[in-house]
Amino acid sequence: QMTQSPSTLSASVGDRVTITCRASQSISTWLAWYQQKPGKAAKLLIYEASSLESGVPSRFSGSGSGTDFTLTISSLQPDDFATYFCLQYNDYWTFGQGTKVEIK
Amino acid sequence: QITLKESGPTLVKPTQTLTLTCTFSGFSLSTSGVGVGWIRQPPGKALEWLAIIYWDDDKRQSPSLSSRLTITKATSKNQVVLTMTDMGPEDTATYYCTRLYGDSYFDYWGQGTLVTVSS
């Protein structure tokens, strides 16, 4: 089970944004982060907890291992207002509930 | 360029069987290590993994839904088909087709198709 927080986040362009996922048991670094916009395909941002997918801007970063993980956007851009979710792939596949990043 | 697209009915009646087709391009399901999976998201709820089929026809299904799910592939057509029996209102969701990277994470997703279960 993955617990993601917060469920909603209000922020401004330029803000540093942090989203967390907590696993109910250790998943090593078998965690990915995605961005999703309405009506669009989800986009892979981070895999193996901290590896940046090719083509993803460097303002996105991931950290953590074991049970606690973080997605950080260092300086929020207008294109970043979206929903973000985590995925654990250590034991089958389980998703976090998602975090909607809204304009403040 | 890798793309996946889901197709199927938008409305099904309770107790009916749902059949969804994923048509993909940009990769082959005959390539070692490749898988295609189905994921769904009920309105206002978290994403839920349903099933995966691998290049070698190995299959994985969610234990909670395995008795209702069947996943098959038509490699030459670049298609994967998911069937779910005995549909109920709780199965109303957006259903997504995804590519599995090396038995790990999903690296490409379709846009999803909303299926509503209602009489």
Q: Does B111 touch chain A (CB under 8 A)?
A: yes
State residue A34's pLDDT score.
Answer: 98
pLDDT (average), residues B53-73: 96
- Cα distance from B1 to chain A (closest Cα, Å)? 14
CA distances from B66 to B48, B52, B100 (A): 13, 11, 19
Give mean pLDDT, residues B1-23: 97
| Average pLDDT of chain B, as a whole number | 96
- Give Cα A19 to chain centroid, integer Å: 6
**B46 vs chain A: nearest CA distance in angstroms?**
5
Contact of A53 with chain B, judged by CB distance below 8 Å, is answered with yes
Q: What's the average pLDDT block by block, 10 residues per block, for chain A (104 residues)?
A: 96 97 97 95 97 97 98 97 97 96 92
CA distance B109 to A57: 19
CB contacts of A94 in chain B (<8 Å) are 49
Is B86's Cβ below 8 Å from some Cβ in A?
Answer: no
Helix/strand/coil (H/E/C) assignment for every residue in chain A: CEEEECCEEEECCCCCEEEEEEECCCCCCCEEEEEECCCCCCEEEEECCCEECCCCCCCEEEEEECCEEEEEECCCCHHHCCEEEEEECCCCCEECCCEEEEEC
Q: What is the distance in angstroms between the Cα of A84 and the nearest Cα belonging to chain B?
A: 11
Q: What is the structure's pLDDT at A33?
A: 98
In whole angstroms, give the CA distance from residue A38 to residue B11. Answer: 20
pLDDT of residue B84: 98
What integer pLDDT is reported at residue B103 of this predicted model?
A: 85
Q: Is A12's Cβ below 8 Å from some Cβ in B?
A: no
A89 to chain B, any CB pair closer than 8 A? The answer is yes
Q: Of B46, B105, B111, which has the smallest distance from its Cβ to A39's Cβ?
A: B111
Q: Nearest CA of chain B to the CA of A75: how many Å?
A: 24
| Nearest neighbour of A47 by CB, restricted to B48, B105, B112 | B105
> Which pLDDT does position A104 carry in this prediction?
87
- Asked if B35 has any chain A CB less than 8 Å from its own CB, the reply is no
- The mean pLDDT value for B4-20 works out to 97
| Residue B102 pLDDT level (bands cut at 50, 70, 90) | confident
**Banded pLDDT at B34 (limits 50, 70, 90):** very high
Mean pLDDT of the B110-118 span: 97
Nearest-CA residue of chain B relative to A98?
B46
Quick one: pLDDT at residue B79? 97
Say whether A47 and B4 touch across the interface (CB within 8 A).
no
Asked if A41's CB is within 8 angstroms of B48's CB, the reply is: no
Distance CA(A94)–CA(A86), nearest Å, equals 8
